[in-house]
Chain A
C-alpha cells in the first residue's frame, strides 16, 4: 500500500541553524512528491514538488528537497532557518490514477528558538 512517513513529529531548531525534515514513502513506481507548509489555522502552501528530472528541487522561501530513489526519501532542507518558518510541514505523494489523490504524511511541527 502507498504510504508516507515523516519520522519526526516535532523538531526545534535555533534561528539561523540548518534544518532537515525527513520524508520516506512507499510507492510502486516513481511518484510525484510534494512538501507543503501550514501555518496555524491556515490552509496549505506548496513549498516545492518533484515530478522528474533533477533530483534536487528548489522551492520557495529558501527550501530545497532531494529525491533519493534508493532510499525512497524526499527530505526537505533549509540552510538557515528564520523564526517565520515555524509551522507544520507535510510531505505528500501523488497517489496517481485519474483522481490524483494525495497520500499525506502525519506532519512535522517545527519550532524555532530565537
Chain B
C-alpha cells in the first residue's frame, strides 16, 4: 500500500512556542490530506481538510489561527500549532487521500507534549 510519512513522531515543546508537523505522501500524489486529533482512548476528531493549493477547511470549533495548515505541494502538508498550551498536548494524525484507489492512508501520528 501507499506510504504516508509523518514527522516528528514525538515532540516536547514549551508553552508559547510553535511546533510544525509534516505529513508526506511518499509514493503518490495527494490533493487532499486530513488532520486529526486523538485524545487518549477516544476516536479520531477531524480538525481540518487540506487541499493542495487552496486554504484548508476547518471543522467547527477548531481555531484556524492556532492550527495553521499549509498544503503547498501534492506530497506535503504541514500543521503548525502556534503559541502552544498544555491543553494542546495530544496525538495528531494525518492522512492522505489517494484518489486512484479511493483510500486514505495514514501517518504514524505525532505525540505532542506541551510543558
Contact = CB atoms under 8 A, between A and B. Distances in A.
Q: Do A and B come from one complex?
A: yes
B51 A99 contact: yes
A94 B32 CA distance: 14
Interface in B57-115: 57, 91, 93, 95, 97, 99, 102-109, 111
B34 A43 contact: no
Interface residues of A, number: 23
Contacts, number: 53
Nearest to A42: B108
A25 interface: no
Chain B interface mostly: strand
A96 to B, nearest CB: 11
Interface string A38-63: 00011111100101000000000000
Given A43-B6, A43-B106, A43-B109, A100 B43 contact: no
A-B pairs with lowest CB-CB distance, top 8 = A43-B108, A43-B106, A44-B106, A106-B43, A43-B109, A104-B43, A99-B49, A107-B43
